[in-house]
Structure 1
Amino acid sequence: MRRTLTAVLAAVPFLALPAPAAQAAPDGCAGLTRLPGVESAATDADYCEVTGTLPPHERYKIKLPLRNWTGQYVQQGCAGLCGAVPDLTLPLFGFQCAPAVDKRLVLAASDSGHTGTDLGDGSWGAHDLAARVDFGLTSEHKLRVFADVVTKAFYGHRPTYRYYDGCSTGGRQGLNLAERFPADFDGILAGAPAHNLAPLALSNAWLAQKNKGDILPPAKLPVLHAAVQRACGELIQDPRTCAFQPSSIQCEGADQPDCLTRAQVAVAVAAYRGPSDARNRNLYNGGFAYGSELSWNGWFVGPDPLAARIGLTYFTNLAYPRNPPADFTLDDVTFTEATFDRLQILGDAIYNATSPDLSAFRAHGGKLIVYHGWADAQISPFSTVDWYAAVERHAGGFTVSQRFSRLYLIPGGYHCLFGPEVDRPSEIGVPEFLTPLMSWVERGEAPGPIDVATVTTTDPPDLVRFLTVDPSDALSPPPAAPGSLNANYHYIGNHLE
């Protein structure tokens, strides 16, 4: 059951926004500094760039085209735990569309309400509930409202169409907007959404515990990946149809370069299966998909893995109304229903974007495109599949859901369809979803198949597969392979049903 915001927001001071300007600024870009919240406004060859701070401490950047504005506004989400304003230099996620390249879109982004040292820093939230609420819930809505003020002051009118584009944390922000601020945007593009954020922290802790001491080292990942490809195909269309067992490449004796030890097999099984309790119930929506092995490096394999850093800072600074003791480590995390429920108190209140009810967004005329790479090893694609299946059920089935939404699952696609960097030739970009979204919103042209390019192996490193991906029906998965570690898990928190 979704928890109320009342108890959380009661402790947060009122976050007032500047009042809208009544007319266009008479002296152009420089005149925007008269708006409350604007600290600087300066022109370059193409844009009036506006920066400033929204209360209590959300830094933002808005770029206003000096010529030929299309009337379209695109707001960019952030990544990780945010803490810095995303660079709006093109191209970004989906920003390869023609009006973006031609510099005719209003672009905006913010740091989500806090300053961090890097994408894995959550110390800003240790004693600041307002910053947590901004990050989890309100920052993108506030920026959208303020951007209307700025565009009205500069051009004399507000945007004709508003779009949101984000991946990972930005994808979570996009789904949060569709669920809780359904009238803010006409079109939302949400990639690899970290929308089930509180249970995702359990997944990160699980990986850190299972691979503590780097039991499974980076050198073994190509060995594991090659074995998966031999068993299931070079490019796995749907990992649920794969029944690969890591034990099939277990070393018969001593550790060798071309096999996995018993302990390494156990780490791989845990990664594919995902965090579970003593009754074998998943505490997150499954684990990582077959085919994702190459991108485990740096996430939970190798020195200073990012999953452990983000997991620890979430537990110590963001997860609970009262923080754990200073000596808390991820070894203290227990994988139980009680831990799950405790995380969900703030998770459901401010961080998670898991409601399947998009009826208000649909009634507003909103259109949503969600995409996720099957080879994503930072956010499990099964979390997105579970959520979208619930959206379909709530809407009345797949056909009805297609009137306002699409889900694209990309074979071989890594996190946000980037990386691992050594595997992806620089000339291969991410799929361009923003143009189809704009065509759907503005001309009623519903998107169909999308052309994508994925890298499937490191030998040779330039082996690319060009694919056409159809919209997915999450309620009609292919038959699961018997014994698959990617299928038939029971997610304990599936309150989306």
Structure 2
Amino acid sequence: MRTFDVPGARTRVASAAVVGGATEFCDVRGTIEPNIGFQLKLPTRTYQGRYLQYGCGGFCGAIDDPAFPQGCGPAFGDAAVAATDDGHQSPENRFDTTWAANDQQARDDLFYRAPHALSKVSKAVIKAFYGKAPAKSYFNGCSNGGREGLLLAQRYPHDFDGIIAAAPAAYYTALIGYQAWIARNSIPNDKIFLLHSAVMKACDGVDGLVDGQIEDPRLCKFDAGSLSGQLTADEIVRVRRLYAGPSDRGVRLYPGGQPYGSEISWTFWLNPSPEFGRGFAAELADNALKHLVYPIGRPHSSLDSFSFTLSEFRRLVPETVKANSLSLDLREFRRAGGKLIIWHGADDQAIPFEGTLDYWQRLTGGRSQDWARLFVVPSMWHCGGGDTLTEFDPFHSLVSWVEGGAAPSRVIATGRDQAGNVVRTRPVFPYPLRARYVGSGSVDDAANFVAAPGFGFSDRIRWAGEDLYHRPGPVAP
């Protein structure tokens, strides 16, 4: 066992073994004190001076096998790659939070410390292994990993040259309450399929093209009341609530609601699933409310007892503000030459894309910058999947931007069927630009679309947590 005395992140390397295969690598595993587990893969023959760190999803607790980036060709080579469990171990259940009940250090490692600590340790190990630190460092994460990406740009602006923050759980204070709220407003799966068909029939063409997807869900004006007789009165009320988002006495408690077109994804996010026995939203909310999001020693809640009100929103702030990644001050990241790509699926059932648009509007005035881009992927669910477009990966575009200076003017999204076959490609342009059909050729071919002005929506949202944008929170050394 070897020890690395990295300032603020003393590390014990438990094992290091060469693993053969298409890319031979040294598999390094260890623990950053006190309890941050990590895996770092060091290519033995093809390393080209790049480091790629992945974010962690859900409440973490397990190390996702860090994959070598593919498809870049010989000029890219292989990067050293790493991932972490964010400071606790619960590999059998990513929703478990019992570890957080009485351990503030474990909470803080999840909230903000672990990704930063891993970046320091990985670079120290890389320097020891190859003789010099990586020339360029990248971060790529979605959901909680997207939150980590924004957090790194905001609090640790010198850690990474390029960051991808996808579907970021930036609004941690309100997001747990939002999960509880949508879980309580669910409707049966058979009604969900009925609803989705009605929504698509009413709104597929509102963007000017009937193609099985809604370019921007905010264009849709469907009212669930049109399904009276097929949905019960209570179900109609619940559906209207889901689209509108939670509020209390006229004050919005989250900057967004369930997108029109996302309904099929409710069947596992809002409703019971074979894997967990209840929907993802209920699992996330119940476990967080019981053990994680209130200060240790203060009264906690649960899904059964929680009511999402202004009062409860304020009770969540003292602890969860540490996890929010809502700072609007990224000047140091810009000065350091950092490049940021944020992307979000327009039909995200877990983290409404409107919140990301709101943050983007406040951060940049809604315009692309020489250091930042936002991409909104039509029809895509949370981090992947969807009715039509199912995959989006801007990593190669980020590398070209950081190392070649070419800001991405478009990224191709892909749609696959259940057999894995590509059935659609579509360009996604920097927001607020959108893809417009040229009028001929297949609507499933990206070549038949060009950039067009957006739909002119106002993206800034008035909501209960607006003061949180100016609280970057504590910074670990």
1:430 aligns with 2:402: no
Residue among 243, 251, 262 paired with 1:281: 251
Query: In 2 relative to 1, CA 489–54 (structure 1 residues): closer, same or farther, beyond 3 Å?
Result: closer
Residues 413 and 454, structure 1, Cα contact 8 Å, conserved in 2 = no
8 Å CA contact retained: 2:48, 2:77: no
Give deviations 1:394-445, integer Å, cap 9, x for gaps. Answer: xxx62xx5211010000011111235xxx67xxx872231111011001101
Match of 1:319 in 2: 293
Secondary structure at 2:379's aligned position in 1?
coil
Are 1:404 and 2:371 counterparts? yes
1:355 aligned onto 2:322 = no
- Return the alpha-carbon distance in structure 2 between the equivalents of residues 38 and 101 of structure 1: 31
1:414 and 2:381 matched: yes
Letter in 2 for 1:418: G
What does residue 250 of structure 1 align with?
228
Mapped partners of 2:147, 2:291: distance in 1: 19
Give the alignment's TM-score, normalised by structure 2.
Answer: 0.84
Partners of 2:357 and 2:38 lie apart in 1 by: 32
Residue matched to 1:12: none
**2:347 aligned to 369, 372, 375, which one?**
375
Q: TM-score, normalised by structure 1?
A: 0.81
CA 1:351–1:488 in 2, change beyond 3 Å: closer, same or farther?
closer
CA distance in 2, matches of 1:150, 1:336: 47
Does the 8 Å CA contact 2:410/2:427 hold for their aligned counterparts? yes
Measured against aligned partners, the alpha-carbon deviations of 1:273-324 in whole angstroms (never above 9, x if no partner) come to 11111x2221111111111101111111235111111101111111111356
Q: 1:488 to 1:365 in 2, by over 3 A?
A: closer
Q: Is the 8 A contact 1:281 1:489 kept in 2?
A: no
Partner of 1:392: 364
Deviations 1:136-161 (A, max 9, x none): 10100000000111101110000000
Q: 1:19 to 1:202 in 2, by over 3 A?
A: same
* 1:322-380 per-position Cα deviation (integer Å, ceiling 9, x unaligned): 35658x432322332221122111222x2110112211111110000011111110111
Q: Is the partner of 1:98 in helix, strand or coil?
A: coil
Q: 185, 190, 212: which is aligned to 1:219?
A: 190
1:19 corresponds to 2:5: yes
Runs of at least 5 residues in structure 2 that lack an aligned partner in the other structure: 205-211, 434-452, 471-477
Distance 1:429 1:323, change over 3 A: same
- What's the secondary structure of 2:426's corresponding residue? strand
2-structure distance, mates of 1:101, 1:281: 52
- How far residue 67 of structure 1 moved from its aligned partner, in angstroms, is 0.7
> Greater strand share, 1 or 2?
2
Distance 1:410 1:166 in 2: 16
Superimposed CA distance per residue, residues 79-108 of structure 1 (whole angstroms, 9 cap, x where no aligned partner): 100000012245xxxx34426998611000
Match of 2:262 in 1: 292
Structure 1 vs Structure 2: percent identity of aligned residues?
37
Paired position in structure 1 for 2:135? 160
Give the corresponding residue for 2:430. Answer: 471
Q: 1:134 deviation in Å?
A: 0.3
- 2 CA distance for matches of 1:232 and 1:167? 28
Give the match's secondary structure for 2:53: strand
Partner Cα distance (2:199, 2:390) in 1 = 26
Instruction: Give the Cα–Cα distance (whole angstroms) in 2 for the partners of residues 343 and 146 of structure 1.
Output: 32
In structure 2, what is the equivalent of residue 86 of structure 1? 64
Match of 1:310 in 2: 284
Displacement of 1:218: 1.3
Q: Distance in 1 between matches of 2:456 and 2:162?
A: 33
Q: SS of 2:118's equivalent?
A: helix
Q: 2:16 aligns with which of 41, 51, 67?
A: 41
Equivalent residue runs for 1:458-497 within 5 Å: 464-473=423-432, 478-479=455-456, 490-495=462-467, 496=469
Q: Which amino acid aligns with 2:370?
A: R
**TM-aligned CA distance change 1:103 to 1:463, over 3 Å:** closer
Shift of the 59–435 alpha-carbon distance from structure 1 to 2, 3 Å rule, reads: same
Is 1:108 the counterpart of 2:86? The answer is no
Contact 1:356/1:388 (CA < 8 Å) preserved in 2? no
Query: Given residue 341 of structure 1, which amino acid in structure 2 is its aligned partner?
Result: R
**Which residue number corresponds to residue 61 of structure 1?**
39
The answer on whether the counterparts of 1:73 and 1:107 sit within 8 Å (CA) in structure 2 is: yes
Letter aligned with residue 292 of structure 1:
S
- DSSP-derived class of the 2:197 partner: helix
User: What SS does the corresponding residue of 2:141 show, helix, strand or coil?
Assistant: strand
SS in structure 2 at match of 1:210: coil
Partner SS, residue 164 of structure 1: strand
Q: Secondary structure at the residue paired with 1:369?
A: strand
Question: Which amino acid is 1:369 matched to?
Answer: I
- Does residue 261 of the first structure (1) align with residue 239 of the second (2)? no
Instruction: Tell me if the contact between 1:272 and 1:290 (Cα under 8 Å) persists in the aligned partners.
Output: yes
Structure 2 match to 1:483: none
Higher RCO (CA < 8 A, seq sep 6+): 1
1:267 CA drift (Å): 1.8
The answer on 1:197 being equivalent to 2:172 is yes
Distance 1:41-1:274 versus aligned 2 partners, 3 A rule: same
Aligned residues: 431
Go from structure 1 to structure 2 and tell me whether the alpha carbon gap of 1:309 and 1:324 turns closer, same or farther (over 3 Å shift): farther
Aligned partner letter, 1:406: R
Mapped to 2, the partners of 1:85 and 1:360 lie a distance apart of 30
Which residue of structure 2 lines up, in the alignment, with residue 137 of structure 1? Answer: 112
> Shift in Å at residue 210 of structure 1?
2.4
- 1:487–1:289: structure 2 CA closer, same or farther, 3 Å change rule? farther
The 8 Å contact of residues 71 and 161 in structure 1, kept in 2 or not, is answered as yes
Match for residue 345 of structure 1? 318
**AA aligned opposite 2:383:** C
Change (3 A) 1:73 1:238: same
Query: Is 1:449 matched up with 2:418?
Result: no
Q: Secondary structure at the match of 2:170?
A: coil
Distance in 2, matches of 1:379 and 1:107, equals 27
State the partner residue of 2:450: none
Within 2, Cα distance between the matches of 1:181 and 1:333?
34
